[in-house]
Amino acid sequence: MNNEELFKKIISHSKEYGFIFPSSEIYDGLSAVYDYGQLGSELKNNIRSYWWKSMVQMHDNIVGIDTAIFMHPTTWKASGHVDAFNDPMIDNKDSKKRYRADVLIEDYMAKIEDKIDKEVEKAAKRFGETFDAKMYRETNPRVMEYQQKIDYARTQMVKTLEENDLAGVKSLIEELAIVCPVSGSRNWTEVRQFNLMFSTQMGSVAEGADVVYLRPETAQGIFVNFLNVLKSGRMKIPFGIAQTGKAFRNEIVARQFIFRMREFEQMEMQFFVKPGEEMEWFKYWKDQRQKWHRSLGIPDSKYRFHDHDKLAHYANAATDIEFEFPFGFKELEGIHSRTDFDLMAHQKLSGKKLQYFDPETNENYVPYVIETSIGLDRMFLAILTQAFEEQILEDGSVRTVLHIPPILAPIKVAVLPLVKKDGFPEKAKEILDTLKMDFNCQYDEKDAIGRRYRRQDAIGTPYCITIDNQTLEDNTVTIRERDSMKQERVDIDSISSIITSNLRNNIYRA
């Protein structure tokens, strides 16, 4: 089975068993938006909760918060999102290349600038020491003509961009006869604004309502609460703030099932450290996050660590943890050393001091930040991908089984009376009632026992409890393990503690 077939099977399986549905499917769905079903939401909750406990509960210097999706618009100026994601773009129809329209015009101006420089250089050689470059620029007719072109282009560009006149930008590009550097053609599309942030209005009255954005990342909710948490939580550096939540991006191409969605959930932790110590902590978190992934029993071969050579404007070190999805190695988690970029920017725009007083050195400073940021939906897909198997048994039959790590499994225990009579169902429900306090359980009495085991395999239930004749005699049941299909006879009273200790096997410890 190749990867493409595998991926299709995983998508079908997800829908068939209630893990993931296309959003608003009865209306044909909405592009790149998905809903989590009855089992999917359990799995997703479990992944989130496992991450949260690993961060907040297992580290005594990390606390969790939950900030709003709406934030003050200035937040996104400080973070750089407003500038970075409001660019007018234009495509060349022949080369299929996309450019920032303003960059094309600036390149055009730079080219003419080069010509002027060459003219001036030539003249300088010609006139020798008496040459006055400034004078030459102001008087030479050819240079003046070039300069006029530049000035015109700049004036028009600034004017059209300021007025948000996209058609004007396009006609300027046409007027200046700018060609595509790749195809050399002037066959351009319309200029379009690609705003990667979703916006909406705050206030129910349309006029006078303020435009606010749906956050494109959760990190800023942590930065703007840095002071609040620092003061109210009596935090001492180094310390971390964790958060999970939805973020929204208007992706140009959103594809590959739940890998790239327009609405997605992040699990982020920002760790505040003393400037100068960031590389040490960067390394620490790289190790810790690897450990976390390993604790879920996914083999190392499925992971790849990719250090960034080209760093984003805010970072001085960055690593991606990539996972081998059916469509190749793709980013699952990022660990970034963000320096003091964000806190500094917020400090500047808000006018509030976002600083830490270090009692050891009696100094105030803006802390540096190490960020770990993982996509919850991507982790979900990674778990599902890794778990899915169509196993060929000794008798040649096929069983579809999800080897979900037990701690994350949507249903932990299925309780099954061997047959639907002789008081078996009653006994089974009695056991079910004691187990469902501690575990998410399922009861099933329909069809042959083997088929019921297979149904539980297909949704990744790690344990099946079966009630048989002997149960009624001596209060023992069989407990069947999903991966090995092995059964063991145990006392009813010990079921809960056996399962609990199995679930705790191999879990993450800092």
Asked if residue 401 binds RNA (CB under 7 A), the reply is: no
Query: For residues 415 and 428, is the Cβ–Cβ distance under 8 A?
Result: yes
* Binding to RNA, residues 35-54 (CB under 7 A): none
Subset of residues 114 to 153 that bind RNA, contact rule: CB under 7 A: none
As a residue count, the chain comes to 510
Which C-beta is closer to RNA: that of 97 or that of 118?
97
Residue with tokens 């359980």: 441
Give CA separation, 101 vs 137, 160, 161, 191, 193, in Å. Answer: 29, 11, 10, 7, 10
Q: Which is nearer to RNA, 165 or 444 (CB)?
A: 444
- Pick one of 4, 107, 132, 430: the residue that binds RNA (CB under 7 A): 4
Residue 206 near RNA by CB under 7 A? no
Q: What single-letter amino acid sits at 468?
A: D
| Interface region with RNA, contact rule CB under 7 A, candidates 152-160, 264-272, 416-424, 430-438 | 416-424
Contact status: 88 vs RNA (CB under 7 A):
no
Residue 491, CA distances (Å) to 437, 470, 499 in order: 18, 11, 12
Kindly determine how many residues on this chain lie close enough to bind RNA according to the rule CB under 7 A.
64
Tell whether residue 302 is a contact of RNA (CB under 7 A).
no
CA–CA separation, 143 vs 115, rounded Å? Answer: 9
Contact region with RNA (CB under 7 A), list: 42-50, 294-302, 380-388, 389-397: 389-397
Residue 143 or 224: the one with the smaller Cβ distance to RNA is 224
Task: Count Cβ neighbours within 10 Å for each residue of 247-265 and write b for 16 or more, e otherwise.
Answer: bbbbeeebebbbbbbbbbb
Burial level of 62, CB count in 10 A (0-12/13-18/19+)? buried
Question: Interface with RNA includes 1 (CB under 7 A)?
Answer: no
92 touches 170 (CB < 8 A): no
Asked if 255 touches RNA (CB under 7 A), the answer is yes
The residues, any chain, with a CB within 8 Å of residue 58's CB and separated by 6 or more, are 508, 509, 510
User: Which position among 110, 202, 448, 510 is part of the footprint of RNA (CB under 7 A)?
Assistant: 448
CB of residue 373 vs RNA: minimum separation in angstroms? Answer: 9
Listed residue (459, 471, 455) closest to 419, CA to CA: 471
Q: Contact between 159 and RNA (CB under 7 A)?
A: no
Q: Is 478 in the site for RNA (CB under 7 A)?
A: yes
The Cα 313–Cα 275 span in angstroms is: 18
The least CB distance from residue 247 to RNA, in Å, is 8
Stretch near RNA under the rule CB under 7 A, chosen from 56-64, 113-121, 160-168, 479-487: 479-487
CB of 425 to RNA, least distance (A): 10
Identity of the residue numbered 414: A
For residue 352, state whether it binds RNA (rule: CB under 7 A).
no
DSSP string over 432-479: HHHHTTTS-EEE--SS-HHHHHHHHHHHT--EEEEE-HHHHHHSEEEE
Return the number of the residue (28 or 300) whose C-beta is nearest RNA: 28
Instruction: Assess 263 for contact with RNA (CB under 7 A).
Output: no
Nearest one of 392, 383, 434 to 413, comparing CA atoms: 434
Which part of the chain contacts RNA (CB under 7 A), choosing from 90-98, 281-289, 427-435, 497-505? Answer: 90-98
The CA-based dihedral angle spanning residues 65, 70, 72, 77, taken in that order and rounded to the nearest 10 degrees: 100
Residue 303: strand pairing partners:
323
Give yes or no for residue 81 binding RNA (CB under 7 A): yes
What's the closest the beta carbon of residue 181 comes to RNA, in angstroms? Answer: 12
Pick from 58, 63, 84, 349 the residue near RNA by CB under 7 A.
84
Determine which residue in the list 210, 307, 422, 493 makes contact with RNA, applying CB under 7 A: 422
Residue 354 neighbours by CB distance under 10 Å: 20
Beta-bridge mates of residue 267 = 244, 374
Residue ranges in 274-355 assigned as alpha helix (H): 278-295, 341-350
When asked if residue 327 is in the footprint of RNA (CB under 7 A), the reply is yes
The reply to whether 353 sits near RNA by the rule CB under 7 A is: no
Q: Find the binder of RNA among 94, 119, 251, 263 (CB under 7 A).
A: 251
421 lies in the binding site for RNA (CB under 7 A)? yes
Please report where in the chains the tokens 């609040």 appear, as a residue: 228
Q: Which stretch binds RNA (CB under 7 A): 169-177, 349-357, 419-427, 432-440?
A: 419-427
Minimum distance, C-beta of residue 394 to RNA, in the bound complex (Å): 9
What residue ranges bind RNA (CB under 7 A)?
Answer: 4, 7-8, 12, 15-16, 22, 28-32, 81, 84-85, 91, 96-98, 189, 196-197, 216-217, 249, 251-253, 255-257, 260, 312, 314, 327, 393, 395, 397-399, 418-422, 446-451, 453-455, 466-469, 477-478, 480, 485-487
